[in-house]
Chains A and B, each alone.
Chain A
């Protein structure tokens, strides 16, 4: 790929990822994106589309509702700065409970149940084709004959 096409491709990737606003582009690549933009009509069209999307994204109006002072006061007065051992153990148990809640336990349990059923069925149903119950006696017989 020629250096010119490579730089066009990189400029396109950055505009598609970061949008049309120049301040969102990395400082080190801003100038290079601007020159690529000036040289390409395709990039200009893309830039316009991203501008429309940016305007739409800017309409989002999620605001913070918590009272920071109240939260800080409540936490710093209600909790010790170093959590007690039981709190740390509680947190560890909570994490383990979360693991179970995610269903990670299902695969090992399913494998164990399948294996146990297999062993049980094998023990009950399978009949050996040869009777080896006298094997020890047989071996003594062979040795005795020698």
Chain B
């Protein structure tokens, strides 16, 4: 699969649209889901994912396969774009802007997907990024450190704090 991917990369650099479509099909879902978990907003996440795919089309010559995997490079671009958005003054997700629910959450909602996604959004940005990249995107700590321009030790520490905060959240909910 890796050599297959390097062949696709070489073909995209030469302007092959079919090879580009294959790479997009392979990487777009992961980048979109990552951005959604970091930003907490479906539409902004889709914008970020499409911007990353545009970079894949226009700037693939800047990718160095000796330094990282293609998915790591794309997530690094997505990460930087998400950080730009999160640090803009007055950043507010559509989920934040929604009216609070009239009914209190059901037990299923309290312990379910909505609850975990809300708890993730409450984590500090760096802890959330480290956890999402490691747990949901399946990157190694070394790759996460590369994406976040950090060290492996710092990533381990962020993960510890992120999981500690989530455990507290889980205990409070229960």
Contact of A26 among B30, B49, B140, B170 (CB under 8 A): B140
Given A17-B156, A76-B21, 20 new contacts (CB under 8 A):
A17-B159, A19-B163, A24-B134, A26-B140, A53-B167, A56-B170, A57-B116, A59-B111, A59-B116, A60-B37, A60-B113, A63-B33, A64-B49, A66-B32, A66-B49, A68-B28, A71-B49, A72-B53, A75-B50, A81-B58
Contacts of A102 in B (CB 8 A): 87-89
Determine whether A52 belongs to the interface, using a CB cutoff of 8 Å to chain B.
yes
Q: In the complex the two chains form, is B46's CB within 8 Å of A66's CB?
A: yes
Cβ-closest 3 pairs across A and B: A64-B29, A17-B159, A72-B24
A positions within 8 Å CB-CB of B: 13-14, 16-19, 24, 26, 49-50, 52-53, 56-57, 59-66, 68-69, 71-73, 75-77, 79-83, 98, 101-103
Min CB–CB distance B53 → chain A (angstroms):
6
Q: How far is the CA of A65 from the CA of B102 in the complex (A)?
A: 28
Contacts of B15 in A (CB 8 A): 81
Chain B interface, DSSP helix/strand/loop, else mixed: helix
Determine whether B76 belongs to the interface, using a CB cutoff of 8 Å to chain A.
no
Contacts of A14 in B (CB 8 A): 156
Q: How far is the CA of A72 from the CA of B46 in the complex (A)?
A: 13
Determine whether B135 belongs to the interface, using a CB cutoff of 8 Å to chain A.
yes
Determine whether B63 belongs to the interface, using a CB cutoff of 8 Å to chain A.
no
Min CB–CB distance A93 → chain B (angstroms):
15
Q: In the complex the two chains form, is B32's CB within 8 Å of A75's CB?
A: no
Contacts of A76 in B (CB 8 A): 17, 20-21, 57
Q: How far is the CA of A62 from the CA of B128 in the complex (A)?
A: 15
Q: How far is the CA of A88 from the CA of B20 in the complex (A)?
A: 22
Determine whether B42 belongs to the interface, using a CB cutoff of 8 Å to chain A.
yes
Contact of B116 among A24, A56, A73, A83 (CB under 8 A): A56
Closest to A73 in B: B21
Q: In the complex the two chains form, is A59's CB within 8 Å of B112's CB?
A: yes
Contact of A18 among B111, B116, B136, B159 (CB under 8 A): B159
Q: In the complex the two chains form, is B166's CB within 8 Å of A103's CB?
A: no
Q: In the complex the two chains form, is B163's CB within 8 Å of A72's CB?
A: no
Which of A19, A69, A81 has most chain B Cβ within 10 Å?
Answer: A81
Q: In the complex the two chains form, is A101's CB within 8 Å of B89's CB?
A: yes
Q: How far is the CA of A65 from the CA of B43 in the complex (A)?
A: 10
Q: In the complex the two chains form, is B163's CB within 8 Å of A69's CB?
A: no
Q: How far is the CA of A63 from the CA of B28 in the complex (A)?
A: 12
A-contact 0/1 string along B20-43, CB 8 Å cutoff: 110011001110110011000010
> Which chain B residues in 133-167 approach chain A with CB under 8 Å?
134-136, 140-141, 156-157, 159-160, 163-164, 166-167
Q: How far is the CA of A29 from the CA of B82 in the complex (A)?
A: 32
